[in-house]
Amino acid sequence: MHDEPIRRLAMVSVHTSPLDQPGTGDAGGMNVYVVELATRLARRGVEVDVFTRATRSSQPPVQECADGVTVRHVHAGPFEGLTKDELPAQLCVFAREVLRAEAAQPVGHYDVVHSHYWLSGQVGALARDRWGVPLVHSMHTMAKVKNEALADGDTPEPAARVIGEEQVVEAADVLVANTDLEAKQLINLYDADPGRVEVVHPGVDLEVFRPRDRAAARADLGLPTDAHVVLFAGRIQPLKGPDVLLRAIADLLERDPSQRSRLVVPIVGGPSGSGLDRPEALASLAAELGIDDVVRFVPPVGQRDLARWYAAATLVAVPSYNESFGLVAAEAQASGTPVVAAAVGGLTTVVRDGHSGLLVEGHDPRAWGATLLRPLADEHLLSRLRAGAPVQAAAFSWDSTAAGMLEVYARARTQYREVGR
């Protein structure tokens, strides 16, 4: 009875759709996570329905994302203009529509609910109770962790989110942490039951993100062959620390003015979150620091183009204040490019300091400038990190993630039946 396979899975991702372009709005690593996990599960014979909020009137109610993966656009609130902070008011409507979609199916249609981010966890908990199936929840980010390490000028996460997260942690049958550190944070900061916390690493698409000819990638992107390319990829908001990188570049050029003639700093991504309040702030900062001649702003790009940017880079900088995993760092390393990252959250798991990249304690621009300069000025160190980057990334594959999640789903179902919820 307990050994039958997982056949159908309901994923709940309220505020961000797997069909959205990462690097725009609220779309980022979580989008990639949802679509990659769903796709890999479908290849293993699981039918996956992803429930997400409709944000455009042109979106069809039901849309196939990949073979075996269906995205259901739920109408809840106005299509556009709602921020994440305004979405809690729409959760009742969203949950009602999710329950209505399931009610049209035979009894026992879904085997498990997997919710992503706390807003979805609120809906998932209701669906779990209504459908009589276990709730598996992934936090992705946590308010208490973010508020402990807030970027300059960023807004603290509201108390309503903290309370909502605590409720989801209590309700979930299994909580999935991306890393051992996140598991400890769930237990220590949210009083999660250690017996209900499982660690499953996210992955990287190792077919898309792989080492390739650097000169060819640079030629495609119009970058000089001999340039030192220090790349930032991600949403432009204080949490991600792009301003830290710009200040570090100014410091680096003070230390070694000879770098200016060959330095290129592409910022690939769009404003998001509190960064939407001042979309031009980063360009203004570059001008103020006198480095706008080396900085290039590039709109968000798709996965295959992003892989080309990673391959073209000398280094990829990830100066985030918090990352539950650090997908950019993993993707960059898989592309054969070393990473200089903040020693926070999942980045300490993803980046092997001194082997696949360098970790920086804190966000002091002088420390960052000095660290970035080390591999740029030392070809031997750069070569060693380049060799170690894809080796480190190989430990993180979406197929391994899917296999791990299937074990978690099966365990959650067994525990759910034994408890007799």
Binding residues for UDP-N-acetyl-alpha-D-glucosamine: 21-22, 29, 235, 240, 301, 323, 331
β-sheet bridge partners, residue 73? 52
Cβ atoms of 209 and 396 within 8 Å: the answer is: no
Which residues of 210-337 form beta strands (DSSP E)? 228-233, 263-268, 295-298, 315-318
**Residues in the annotated binding site for Mg(2+):** 310, 313, 337
Distances (CA, A) of 264 to 118, 283, 313, 382: 38, 15, 9, 17
Short-list 414, 22, 344, 353, CA closest to 179 = 344
Single out the residue of 305, 237, 243, 297 nearest to residue 267, CA to CA.
Answer: 297
Six token digits for residue 295: 């900085």
- By residue count, the chain amounts to 421
- Binding-site positions: 15, 21-22, 26-31, 84, 117, 141, 161, 235, 240, 301, 310, 313, 323, 331, 337
| Residue 182: closest CA among 134, 119, 137, 219 | 137
- Collect all residues with Cβ–Cβ distance below 8 Å to 185 and sequence separation of at least 6: 142, 144, 145, 177
Among 48, 53, 60, 109, residue whose Cα is nearest residue 78: 53
If phi > 0 it is left, if psi is from -120 to 50 it is alpha, else beta; for residue 68 that is left
Which phi and psi (to 5°) does residue 291 adopt? Answer: -120, 15
CB atoms within 10 A of CB 302: 11
Known binding-site positions for 1D-myo-inositol 3-phosphate = 15, 26-31, 84, 117, 141, 161
Displacement of CA 82 from its chain's centroid (Å): 21
